[in-house]
Amino acid sequence: MGFDQARANRIFLPATYAEGVPYELFRELRAEAPVCWVEEPAVGDWPAGTGYWAVLRHADVKHVLRTPEVFSSHLGATQIRDLDTPADLEFARAMMLNQDPPDHSRLRRTVAAAFTPRALAELTVAIERRAAELVAAIRPLGEADVVPIAADLPVWTLARILGVPDQDRQLLVDWSNRVIGYQDPDHAESSTADPSHLTDLGRAALAHRPAALTTPDGRPLNPRSRTALADMFAYAHALAEQPPPGSIVARMREAGLTAAEFETMFFLFAVAGNETLRNGLPGGLYSLLTHADEYARLSRQPGLMPTAVDELLRFWPPVLDFRRTATRDVVVAGQLIRGGDKVVVYHASANRDEAVFPEPDRLDIARTPNDHVGFGFGPHFCVGARLARIQMSALIHRIVADLPGLELVSAVPPKRLVSNFQNGLKDLRVRWGWTGAPRLQPMALTS
């Protein structure tokens, strides 16, 4: 039987992921065509794209990610969808995520200053305290949607790092929703920040938000463009005029970044810095709750938390894929890729590769070794990986410890994010059977 192009195209369509990650299809494609051509048909008002090569096996994904001289982040940026104009592409290229060494290395050093061992130790104490407060607030209710709780912790943490006042934290949520959830009608026009609760700086920024989400010729406005995020960049520049001492915004100002580098670095922190964990936390909890034996195992053995977190990131990778662009003709897994072609690596497929992970569809919170690519690989390995692990450990521990008898509310199925980039949940309703004081002592997460 010949290659079924329509079947392969399903891994591009956002609607596919609204029903769940197509792991069975990934498995079949890894066996039949581990590097296969995928078309980009029009989706709603979004025009068709040029198509790309999907890379699905673990070894090939790591090869692409560790060879930026052949598979560039800079040429076409790192999202499947091409930028609308040369100006949009030029602006996107200023972002650390969309650069190759050595320019990427220079910007990464600026970011790394926020994640020193001392800084992380101080953050860990604050994160554990915040996680305990969040769970304590819902414990008397007996039932709740945990997505807002899971979303709060990374947004709160990023606001602290950036120096964003507490009153303006909801702006981070709206910016993330608009950028990451633009394919989902529930998030595409997110505007949940109440102006009356914002600082003067926050209210002033809202005035810069574009009134229309279309270009003058009627095409959808790219949510990652400078125009679409004018309010976020206005806020960033205003915050930088008097940045809180020690904040990453203060460090960026001291580093002498260009205007475009500063804006895109703020973008990277404000959006990517919280959105990945906003999806990884509820996804990880859902994975545990649908594997009762492993949930009970973690409850009995909280010391398994470090391996559990990595297994949850393998099992529910928050980022489904990333794009590169071939700098020259190259062969991967027997397939010729021409210079200039788009190449998209699928973390979700690599993390279930049976050649690397025994019983890849089984959740095993003690899995060792665990060579997952949930944080990427190579030069662009997530600079905030340690911070993400700290946050996941803190919140999952408090939920498991303080909400005994936790289970899904079967009458209210989870709602998935419509996105071919982020593996997210919009709603996850749970209930528990005991609402008194915590029955377990806090687990030491700071060692």
The pLDDT of residue 44 is 85
The pLDDT of residue 434 is 65
Q: How does pLDDT run across 57-80, given as a tens digit for each residue?
A: 999 999 999 999 999 999 999 999
In a domain, 277, yes or no: yes
Q: How many residues does the chain have?
A: 447
The pLDDT of residue 211 is 81
Domain count, the chain: 1
The pLDDT of residue 442 is 41
Q: Which two tokens stand for residue 159?
A: 């606001």
Separation CA 54–CA 344 (nearest Å): 5
Q: How does pLDDT run across 315-358, given as a tens digit for each residue?
A: 999 999 999 999 999 999 999 999 999 999 999 999 999 999 99
In a domain, 244, yes or no: yes
What does DSSP say about strands 321-326 and 342-346: parallel, antiparallel, or unpaired? antiparallel
Cβ partners under 8 Å of residue 190, min gap 6: 173, 174, 177, 178, 181
Residue with tokens 């800079």: 74
The pLDDT of residue 1 is 52
The CATH code of the domain that includes 207 is: 1.10.630.10
In a domain, 447, yes or no: no
In a domain, 58, yes or no: yes
Side-chain-side CA neighbours of 240 within 13 Å: the count stands at 21
Residue with tokens 């554990």: 128
Nearest C-alpha neighbor of 60 from the set 318, 311, 363, 324: 324
Q: Which residues of the chain have pLDDT under 50?
A: 437-447
Separation CA 163–CA 430 (nearest Å): 33
In a domain, 129, yes or no: yes
Separation CA 6–CA 440 (nearest Å): 52
In a domain, 437, yes or no: no
Three-class DSSP labels, the chain: CCCCHHHHHCCCCHHHHHCCCCHHHHHHHHHHCCEEEECCCCECCECCCCCEEEECCHHHHHHHHHCCCCEECCCCCCCCCCCCCHHHHHHHCCCHHHCCCCHHHHHHHHHHHHHCHHHHHHHHHHHHHHHHHHHHHHHHHCEEECHHHHHHHHHHHHHHHHCCCHHHHHHHHHHHHHHHCCCCCCCCCCCCCCHHHCCHHHHHHHCCCCCCCECCCCCECCCCCCCCCHHHHHHHHHHHHCCCCCCHHHHHHHCCCCHHHHHHHHHHHHHHHHHHHHHHHHHHHHHHHCCHHHHHHHHHCHHHHHHHHHHHHHHCCCECEEEEEECCCEEECCEEECCCCEEEEEHHHHCCCCCCCCCCCCCCCCCCCCCCCCCCCHHHCCCCHHHHHHHHHHHHHHHHHHCCCCEECCCCCCEECCCCCECCEEECEEECCCCCCCCCCCCCCCC
Look up the domain containing 37 and give its range: 5-431
Separation CA 28–CA 233 (nearest Å): 43
In a domain, 442, yes or no: no
Separation CA 205–CA 202 (nearest Å): 5
In a domain, 439, yes or no: no
The pLDDT of residue 342 is 98
